[in-house]
Chains A and B, each alone.
Chain A
């Protein structure tokens, strides 16, 4: 009596019974003769042979293969139409040891998901993508796909696809082959025994590349859709072999698996205790903790305004940083966007010995105007009794307000004398500190040390001193303004 051994049977990567399916749990939902069944089988076979069932995560698309998770006994993630490469990217990066396989149809990958596949390929995500091209939207009932052959009638190209109206069939492998990063790109077909057996090898290679830690691997499978094509399965197979393969061409476009370097393992994560330091948290000044009590009653509502590039935002930031260091409540709110690079720029700074309600300064009691337009714009809002420092040799006559203390000094020129126009803002800061006596010199120096480039630190100290000096000389003895 002859004895026989099983050589081919249902892959272990498939569930025995498809319990996630509501009924007919031993059979796929695919139509008779559907290429998806064959591609699934080749993929499951590859997973078995490579021994990666436990590590595999299958990304199911939208389309006829939406139910990949019915069949594959692997980790499963079902995703939105066209987005499988984006999801696969993140699964793989989250779990580098996993084997992530994207499975997509032609509408999914080559129409709505064009951007996602190109960029995943271009980043060289070390994933495997199986692209089933049957030139039609199957699940939605036979609409034109980007890969539909010219002349083919579909539900949405009832007169036949016309290049003048619908463009040409999209050649995805060729497109991806123009990118530097992919490691493996091949187009195969399910047109006859030989093609199917070759496809089996190629699908396995594409998964194996990932197991080896190489880069992006892509297999396009020309596949029959007998039901929607309105053909018998054998006739559909012939169509794949004779018509589709002729238009698209079967070819290994890219095999850089020999040159490709296996990706280095990600560096070990730091200890949690190290995170605050790695996040630049903690006392950057390296000095003692903030003073427990604010040194004095204070409610400064400061508006700093000027042209972009005058250091408006930095002036405000130094004030806020030093104020915080001195134990005050502070806030700093910039105008932002293109005006950071040109045009006008302003920021709102508050320093107070109590909780700050609104960080928006609508009624400033200090205006630091680095140019004339800013002076004119914000002067009317300044509160009675407020202080205005103006970057100029004198306050324009029509801007003089007798209810304010207004001081004009040519801060930019003073900075020029120090050799750097850009520290005009710090000269002005020096004048402000001198005028108000609000912050100890040490707090301001500490803030500058943390905020400015070391290269400019000494210059900034000189600018600060110059501002203080100029203010002392220019101001009468009532300069200690009401704090």
Chain B
């Protein structure tokens, strides 16, 4: 299909409907509101359901109901609303219900502001709700990926019977880029375990309650095994000019884009810099980062939060290489030039020798 200039928040909805999403339950919040607005327009057109819930708490529980009934469903919010939804995340994971939740991150804590941050990383990737569960997390860096990863998120959710979060920031949600949507719409049949209110599914049951310790342990082990399986099979990342990189920059979402520009600036200065951009935040590209440490001398993590992603990079490296950290928060984003300055300042040894620079100048006169 022809590329169409589309806003990130709208791309999510269009991709979701094409992927068979027929239910959206949400509550407005900047900078995610356009998702609910687009859903209010497009879900009914597709024969689906849109409800503006009384709160994020209600919205996530409506998602629980729709998922239990076997309908591909989604919601969207931002930091404060996601905090309220955490109860539901835990129940959804516990009851093994598939659904997709978009988190378009804004500044925090508290009311913070509505400008972009990446400070929901911990509450999404580490699980803000109670109990032994994980959410699978995909992190788009473009509007095209908003669409593509949303499509994938629905498949992942069904395959793992688990909530999947599309974790983006206000920049990605609000910006417009050309998107090529899936040429064909799909509508998977309701899964066999769903409670559809008919004779065929009368014996089906959805619950997260396992009163007997042994039975709950078995259930938790089953969930644990699913997450391990995801770690084996679903890791996605983008590796950009890392083959010969001495310094590997790590960042996700909009930061990945900025880092790409920074890599180009650094390369133009003769520095061997590359980029590792996690596309899945859980499962995390632990092995891939560890692999890069065989050649890279150092890593630098850049994020729009005060040190959340960096923990996972450090855990992945287990001390194999030094990890430096640079962040902006509050709605600020570093420019590619800022990142370059940080890299030059932090790794002075990686700058080309002054002699080489002079030769370069001579050649180009």
Q: Do chains A and B touch in the complex (CB under 8 A)?
A: yes
Does the CB pair B91–A283 fall under 8 Å?
no
Q: How far is the CB of B307 from chain A (nearest CB, A)?
A: 22
Main secondary structure of the interface of A (DSSP, over half): mixed
- Report, as a range, how many residues of chain B touch the other chain: 35 or more
Cross-interface CB contact of A89 among B51, B55, B197, cutoff 8 Å: B51
Binding-face segment, A48-56, A186-194, A224-232, A434-442? A48-56
Cβ of A22 and Cβ of B181 under 8 Å apart?
no
A290 within 8 Å of B (CB atoms):
yes
- Closest residue to B113 on the A side, CB-wise? A337
List chain A residues, Cβ under 8 A from B207: 60, 69, 76-78
**Inter-chain residue pair count (beta carbon < 8 A):** 246
Q: Determine how close the nearest CB of chain B comes to the CB of A258; give it in whole angstroms.
A: 26
Encode contact with B along A74-109: 1 for CB under 8 Å, 0 otherwise.
111111100100111111011101111000000000
Please encode chain A, from 119 to 130, with 1 for each CB lying within 8 Å of some chain B CB and 0 for all others: 100010000000
Instruction: Assess whether A289 is interfacial by the CB under 8 Å rule.
Output: yes
Q: A97-B197, A362-B337 are in contact. Are A283 and B2 (CB under 8 A)?
A: yes
CB pair B175 A332 closer than 8 Å: yes
Whether a CB of chain B sits under 8 angstroms from the CB of A246 is no
Which one of A98, A279, A338 contacts B17 once the chains associate, using CB atoms below 8 Å? A279
Q: Determine whether B184 belongs to the interface, using a CB cutoff of 8 Å to chain A.
A: yes
Q: Is A282 an interface residue (CB 8 A)?
A: yes
User: What per-residue 1/0 map shows which CB atoms of B31-53 lie under 8 Å from chain A?
Assistant: 10000000000100111010101
Q: Which of B5, B73, B258, B260 contacts A90 (CB 8 A)?
A: B73
Residue B264 interfacial (CB < 8 Å) = yes
Task: Enumerate the 4 nearest inter-chain pairs by beta-carbon distance, A residue then B residue, closest first.
Answer: A98-B197, A269-B47, A90-B65, A362-B335
Find out whether the CB atom of A78 lies under 8 angstroms from the CB atom of B49: no
Chain A residues near B30 (CB, 8 Å)?
336-337
CA gap between A69 and B208 in the complex, in Å: 12
Indicate whether B62 reaches chain A with its CB closer than 8 angstroms.
yes
B227 contacts A by Cβ under 8 Å: no
Give the shortest distance, in Å, between B97 (CB) and chain A (any CB).
Answer: 10
With an 8 A cutoff between CB atoms, is A305 at the interface?
no
Are A360 and B206 also in contact (CB < 8 A) when A320-B5, A337-B114 are?
no
Q: What CA separation (Å) do A100 and B65 show in the bound complex? A: 11
Check B252 for interface membership: any CB of A closer than 8 A: no
B71 contacts the other chain (Cβ, under 8 Å)?
yes
User: Which residues of A does B touch, CB under 8 Å?
Assistant: 20, 22, 53-57, 59-60, 66-67, 69, 73-80, 83, 86-91, 93-95, 97-100, 115-116, 118-119, 123, 266-270, 272-273, 275-276, 278-279, 281-284, 289-290, 317, 320-321, 324, 329-334, 336-338, 356-360, 362-363
B337 engages A86 (CB within 8 Å): no
CB distance B181 to A276 under 8 Å?
yes
**28 residue pairs from A and B, CB less than 8 Å apart:** A55-B198, A59-B65, A67-B209, A69-B205, A77-B195, A77-B205, A77-B206, A77-B207, A79-B65, A83-B64, A86-B58, A86-B59, A90-B23, A90-B65, A93-B23, A94-B65, A94-B69, A97-B198, A270-B45, A276-B18, A276-B185, A281-B4, A336-B174, A337-B31, A337-B114, A358-B257, A359-B177, A362-B336
Q: Which residues of A contact B91 (CB under 8 A)?
A: 79-80
Please pick, from B183, B201, B215, B333, the residue contacting A360 in the complex, using a CB distance under 8 A: B333
Task: Output the least CB separation between B193 and chain A (Å).
Answer: 11
Most buried by B among A60, A88, A272: A272
Q: A90-B63, A330-B177 are in contact. Are A20 and B5 (CB under 8 A)?
A: no
- With A and B bound together, what is the CA distance between A116 and B115 in angstroms? 30
Q: How far is the CA of A440 from the CA of B338 in the complex (A)?
A: 36
In the complex, the answer to whether B197 meets A75 with C-beta atoms within 8 Å is: yes
- Beta-carbon contact of B197 and A360 below 8 Å: no
